[in-house]
Amino acid sequence: MTTIAFLVVVYDFGFYTSPSWNRFTESFYPFIFLLFFLTYFFRILFFRQLRTNNWRRYFDYFIGIILFLTSDLGIFDPVYLIEKFPWLRFFETALFYHTLIIFIFSLEISKGTLNLYKIRFNPSLLYAGSFFFLILLGAGLLMLPRSSTVETDLVDAVFTATSAVCVTGLIVVDTATHFTPLGQSVILLLFQLGGLGVMIFTSFFGFFFMGAPSFQNQIFLKDFVNEARMGKIFRTLYKILGFAFLVEITGAAIVYIFQSQPHLGLQTNVWNAVFHSVSAFCNAGFSVFTDGMNDIQNGTYQNFHLHLVIAIMVVLGGIGFPVILNYFTWMKNRFNDNFRKLLRKRSAHRFPHLINVNTRIVSITTIILIVGGTISFWWFERNNLLNGMSFYGAFVTSFFGAVTPRTAGFNTIDTSAMVVPTVLITIFLMWVGASPSSCGGGIKTSTLALAVSNIVSMARGKTRIELFGRHIADENIRRAFAIIILSVLIIGLGVFLLSITDGDLGMKNIVFECFSAFSTVGLSLGITAELSDSGKIIISCLMFIGRIGTLTIVVAFFRKLRSYQYQYPKETIYIN
């Protein structure tokens, strides 16, 4: 029932409707709300004892009342009520009908997702499947007549949806001119869901409106949110979404200040600010301007204050939520300790290892990559792209050039004009990417750190890796090297296939494109729009595999073997 109502809303939104269709919807919406009301009524009547949390029970009452008032029961005279209370006219608008149906549909989808957790299902397969389903849904929405100014074919729609869901930013059509505000809204929704994770959104929504999660739900979700404590999973979900929305709202306000143009009007300026803020934090790299952050007409060209804000938001979105939550806990405890000292009370708790090893590894590696990338970009481009810029402008552009390859994909310069050393450094930064459990892609900073640490340990004759007074588990080392090898193989396969289908575009451009797609970066040397349909499919596959993760894909399709309580004799293999 909710699916049928949702499809009617999609048709209402996405197609140019006839008068006969409009007459149909005038009768359909009150009727479907009547069915929804009866469903809620019987649910409250027969399952009230299952509601242990009062506010959720009252929320059901509230939804039931709204559905009752919007259903066509003939009890109230709508003309009289609207004359008496003019603000009630809103509840008869298409906007309200659409919003209510989409909300109920989302709620039912979230509840269905929680029920999936109770089934013995491969978590990796479900994770990959959620992204695949979102890509198909997004492609369908982008093909709607009202989503674009001209018709969007299937391959371009799938490519754009994949790029948005996988927070890449590669485009084959101009987002600013090809898509209407509806199409741009679909893209925004896709990279918001794809950046934070479909499962995180649906699970939080389901928990929030259904009550305490079951034990099976918590078991299933603990790996998605990187939370080892079972009782803290919902709170971790709340913190992740709360932090994300706080940064996006704050970023939108700052972007509005630095980027708003008087000739565009308030509504357009607010929309542009929100779109770029969410795109930056989710490391998506999409822009509603034709030339992105290098657009003269819309005030982003050499707007260094804006570029700095976007770069900082990219770093926040790519550092990883476990690191952010770890720093938040550390700051909270430091504040509490200092507050107790201020009141001349002894601190009740000490946390000697509050900043864990993962946070230290990620933070140090991120700083090294950003500082090294900034210096390298400035050094190699000082007589090229940076020539004639002020010191501040050159610094911000170099900083942006070091940050954006770490899976963001915004452009402040002409990427195709970079010198070869800068291109190679950019490829390396794209390959490394962001940090674990973030909005970004790549092999991840922690993977690079463990690989380098393993080499250093072997050079020093150590048999194990020790960092910050901790012994790193062998499982992490095996996982890191598996990710590195699989990434090289997948990218190599992509380069090989693309050289067959689009070899005329140049090997340097193809290699750059494949690294950008796999690492979900979105930078290009200018060949994306020139790809053949086969090339677009290859790049789409690289984006999907890069976002899901090579190991996740492998685990999703291979049966996990039982661990046996025996061990074969050790044998030495000659290497090098």
Does any domain span residue 145?
no
How far apart, in whole angstroms, are the C-alpha atoms of residue 431 and residue 516? 8
pLDDT at 333: 81
User: Among residues 57, 92, 88, which one has the least CA distance to residue 71?
Assistant: 92
Neighbours of 54 (CB within 10 A): 8
pLDDT in tens, 422-437: 999 999 999 999 998 8
- 249 within a domain of the structure (yes/no): no
In single-letter form, the type of residue at position 54 comes to: N
In a domain, 558, yes or no: no
In a domain, 4, yes or no: yes
From CA 37, how far away is CA 39, in angstroms rounded? 5
pLDDT averages per 10-residue partition of the chain, 576 residues: 84 85 82 78 62 58 70 56 66 77 80 66 78 93 94 95 94 94 94 82 62 58 62 76 92 94 89 95 92 88 94 93 87 79 63 78 95 96 93 96 89 92 96 89 92 91 85 89 94 96 94 96 93 96 93 75 71 77
Instruction: Convert 184-214 into a string of H (helix), E (strand) and C (coil).
Output: HHHHHHHHHHHHHCHHHHHHHHHHHHHCCCC
- Which H or E run contains 411? none
**Rounded (10°) angle between helices 181-196 and 123-142:** 170
Domain-located, residue 510: no
What domain count does the chain have? 1
DSSP line for 437-464: TSS--SS-HHHHHHHHHHHHHHHTT-SS
Task: Identify the pLDDT of residue 181.
Answer: 93
563: left (phi over 0), alpha (psi -120 to 50) or beta: beta
Percent of the chain with pLDDT strictly greater than 70: 81
> How many residues would you count in the chain?
576
CA atoms within 13 A on the CB side of 268: 11
Bridge-based pairing of strands 470-471 and 466-467 is antiparallel
pLDDT of residue 18: 85
Residue 546 lies in a domain: no
Instruction: Give DSSP secondary structure letters for 86-97.
Output: GGGGGGGSHHHH
pLDDT (0 to 100) of residue 298: 86
How far is CA 322 from each of CA 224, 236, 240, 267, 439, rounded to the nearest angstrom? Answer: 11, 9, 9, 35, 12
d(C-alpha 222, C-alpha 241), whole Å: 16
Residue 399 lies in a domain: no
Q: If DSSP codes are grouped into helix, strand and coil, which group holds residue 574?
A: coil
Q: Judge whether 552 lies within some domain.
A: no
Task: Quote the pLDDT of residue 72.
Answer: 58
Tokens standing for residue 424 = 């190679």
Domain around 108: 1-116
Quick count: other Cβ atoms within 10 Å of Cβ 248? Answer: 21
Quote the pLDDT of residue 166.
Answer: 93
Closest CA to 303 of 374, 384, 397: 397
